[in-house]
Structure 1
Amino acid sequence: MKIGLLTSGGDCPGLNAVMRAFTKFACLNLPRPEILGFKDGYTGLIEGNFLPVDDQFFDGLFYTGGTILGSIRQPFKNMADPAEDGVSKLDRMVENYRRLGLDCLVTLGGAGTHKTAAMLSAEGCNVIGLPKTIDNDIWGTEFTFGFDTAAEVAAKCVREMHATAYSHGRTILVEVMGNKTGWLSLYAAVAGGAHACILPEFPYDENALAEYIARRRENGARYDVIVVAEGAMTKEESGWKRKEMLLRRKELGYSTATSRIARTIENRTGAEARVQVIGYLQRGAEPNAHDRALCTMMGAYAGELVKEGRFGVTVAVEGGRITYNSLADIAGRTKFITPENPMYLAAKSTGIYFGE
């Protein structure tokens, strides 16, 4: 059995751990497996650039962040666009899939990766997806691998801001990754003991947020720690198209809401505000014990799906068990935080303010 394996999109804790589990399962349970690891994600499949991997290839990488196969973003929106020679990237991938005699392709990635995987599946390729993203925003799965580690890293950063904020009587805003959704920010705020959390799903009221900080200080609070998702926006901005919002922000001299919030707090409350952007620390961390266990379960389950010949699906966590969803059903859909989400409700009920 000939299997293609690739990692696509942004890196994430646990990619190597998932591939380790899958290859170990394949070598122990599938008939004469031959696994081709495509370099740099879909780019490797487009160019036919790969290397052979086996159950020993990933030994020693169980704890390592990033991806040994490499990853280059290939926007799904351009996949079907013909190049100058009239052949699209999608055409080339399908051609190489068939030329190499692949029996299936296993893709590790986030939302864009799953959209492309669904396109390949629709073209007749046997595809199995694995949900990778620190954003935890893939529809149909309770958790994606890598999220728990990223949340732990972000929460640690939030927690460590308390000492500095208290020492200097400051308001410190911690910017956490998450453009469309705020799962990472929500969990980091709860686990890091933040006083407020601003999420993309719930546009904030600038005046109300400044008043909240002012009330805290009037009531004796010496400092504040606020978690802000990079995709957060004001209620006014939520009514604009994304291009319009980015243009207006550029004209005003900022790109994310975090610096604007800091400026507003200083101007309206007199409190000294500072911004801490965590950035890529959230992506490159060594996967924690929970993620390594989840990666092992997901990778082995993907192997089971190959063994059963069940393709056109992606692995998922549902009700605490490992299962699968149809690629066609989840591609292009985003899992947002809703007002009924248990973690959101727990955060609100324990005093975290969300900028209403």
Structure 2
Amino acid sequence: MKIGMLTSGGDCQSLNAAMRGVAKTLYNNTNDVEIYGFLDGYKGMITKNYKLMKEEDFSGILTEGGTILGTSRTPFKYINEPDKEGRDKVAGMIKTYKDLKLDCLVMLGGNGSHKTAALLSQKGLNVVTLPKTIDNDIEGTEMSFGFQSAIDVATRTIDEIHTTAASHSRVFIVEIMGHKTGWLTLHSGIAGGADIILIPEIPYNVDEVLNTIRKREKQGKKFTIIAMAEGAISDEDAKLSKKELKEKRKTYTFPSVAYQLSDELQKKAGQEVRVTIPGHVQRGGIPSASDRTLATRIGVEAAGLILRKDYGNMVCIKEGKFSKIPLEEVAGKTKMVNVDNELIRQAESLGISLGRKA
């Protein structure tokens, strides 16, 4: 059995744990298996840049962040365009697959990576995928590995901001990763005790944010912590068309939405506002224990699909149990936070403001 393996898109914690789960299960359940690791994501498959892995390559990597194979972003909208050397990317991947006489390609990636995986599956390649993203926004699964570790990092940032915010009686905005969805900000905001949580799915009203700050001041609480997703948007901007919003953003002088909100609040409240952005730290470091367990189990399930020759699927979790979902049902879809989500309701019951008017 010959297996190709690659990690695609942004890195995260537990990629190595997931690959280890796949490899150890295959080695333990079949007498003859070769695993070819493609370097730097789909790019390695396009350029035929790979290495034949040894069983010991998957030892000692359970606790390592990042990916031993390296990764890169190959946007799907450019996948049908030739690369810098004029190579047809899709044809190159198919040729590499066939030249190596692979039985299956194992891909660990997020939303965009799954679109390419689905395309290769449609082209006749045997593909099995694992859901990887710190954003937890892959359609069809309740949980993606990398998410819990990122929550831990973002939560620690909010935790450590509390003391300085309280000492200086300031408003602090902690900008959390999440361009399209607010899962990470919502979970870490609640875990870190944020007073205001702003996510892309719920456009915020600046005056409502300001009212929450003033309400806390009247209660004798001299500081406020705002957990803000990097893709959060004001209700004013949310009313604009994509074209209008794009043009408006060209006039912005702020490096991110957090700094824009900070400027607005300082002008209206006359209070010091500071911004903290943990950034790529949220992707790095040692994976949490829960992520290691989840990634390992997802890897075991992926190996099971391979051994059963049940191709064209992503391992997923439904109602707390491991299952599978066809790649075409995952590709091109994003799991958004429902505005009526139970977690949203619970947050507001706690008195946390989501920035929307009552």
Instruction: Tell me if TM exceeds 0.5.
Output: yes
Alignment length (residue pairs): 356
Specify the alignment match of 1:139 in structure 2.
Answer: 139
Give deviations 1:159-179, integer Å, cap 9, x for gaps.
Answer: 111100000000000000000
Q: 1:157 to 1:25 in 2, by over 3 A?
A: same
Specify the alignment match of 2:94 in structure 1.
Answer: 94
Distance in 2 between the 1:210 and 1:90 partners? 51
Specify the alignment match of 2:11 in structure 1.
Answer: 11
1:155 and 1:192 in contact (8 A); partners too: yes
Alignment of 1:1-356 (within 5 A): 1-82=1-82, 88-242=88-242, 244-356=244-356
Distance in 1 between the 2:25 and 2:85 partners? 41
SS at match of 1:95: helix
Give deviations 1:50-109, integer Å, cap 9, x for gaps.
Answer: 011133212111101000100111111111224699752111101111111010000000
What is the Cα deviation at residue 212 of structure 1? Answer: 2.0
Distance in 2 between the 1:296 and 1:178 partners? 25
Name the aligned partner's letter for residue 287 of structure 2: P
What is the Cα deviation at residue 317 of structure 1? Answer: 1.1
Q: 1:237 to 1:128 in 2, by over 3 A?
A: same
Name the aligned partner's letter for residue 122 of structure 1: Q
Aligned-pair identity in percent equals 43
What is the Cα deviation at residue 211 of structure 1? Answer: 2.1
SS at match of 1:190: helix
Distance in 2 between the 1:300 and 1:268 partners? 54
Q: 1:287 to 1:85 in 2, by over 3 A?
A: closer
1:21 and 1:295 in contact (8 A); partners too: yes
What is the Cα deviation at residue 10 of structure 1? Answer: 0.4
Question: TM-score, length-normalised on structure 2?
Answer: 0.96
1:231 and 1:256 in contact (8 A); partners too: no
Farther off after superposition, 48-57 or 66-75 = 48-57
Q: 1:114 to 1:206 in 2, by over 3 A?
A: same
Give the unaligned 5+ runs of structure 2: none
Distance in 1 between the 2:308 and 2:191 partners? 40
1:80 and 1:91 in contact (8 A); partners too: no
2:198 and 2:228 in contact (8 A); partners too: yes
Q: 1:266 to 1:128 in 2, by over 3 A?
A: same
What is the Cα deviation at residue 246 of structure 1? Answer: 4.6
Give deviations 1:219-278, integer Å, cap 9, x for gaps.
Answer: 321100000000001112123345643542341312432111111221111221000001
Distance in 1 between the 2:354 and 2:131 partners? 28
Q: 1:284 to 1:86 in 2, by over 3 A?
A: closer
1:142 and 1:317 in contact (8 A); partners too: yes
Q: 1:239 to 1:297 in 2, by over 3 A?
A: same
Give the unaligned 5+ runs of structure 1: none
SS at match of 1:57: helix
Distance in 1 between the 2:269 and 2:84 partners? 58
2:201 and 2:339 in contact (8 A); partners too: no
Give deviations 1:285-320, integer Å, cap 9, x for gaps.
Answer: 211110011011000100000001001110111111
What is the Cα deviation at residue 343 of structure 1? Answer: 1.6
Name the aligned partner's letter for residue 277 of structure 1: I
Distance in 1 between the 2:166 and 2:247 partners? 36
2:170 and 2:271 in contact (8 A); partners too: yes
Distance in 1 between the 2:199 and 2:48 partners? 41
Name the aligned partner's letter for residue 30 of structure 1: T
Name the aligned partner's letter for residue 223 of structure 1: F
SS at match of 1:102: coil
Distance in 2 between the 1:256 and 1:239 partners? 19
Question: TM-score, length-normalised on structure 1?
Answer: 0.97
Name the aligned partner's letter for residue 179 of structure 2: N
1:23 and 1:54 in contact (8 A); partners too: no
Distance in 1 between the 2:37 and 2:242 partners? 37
Farther off after superposition, 127-136 or 82-91 = 82-91
Distance in 2 between the 1:161 and 1:311 partners? 46
Name the aligned partner's letter for residue 323 of structure 2: T
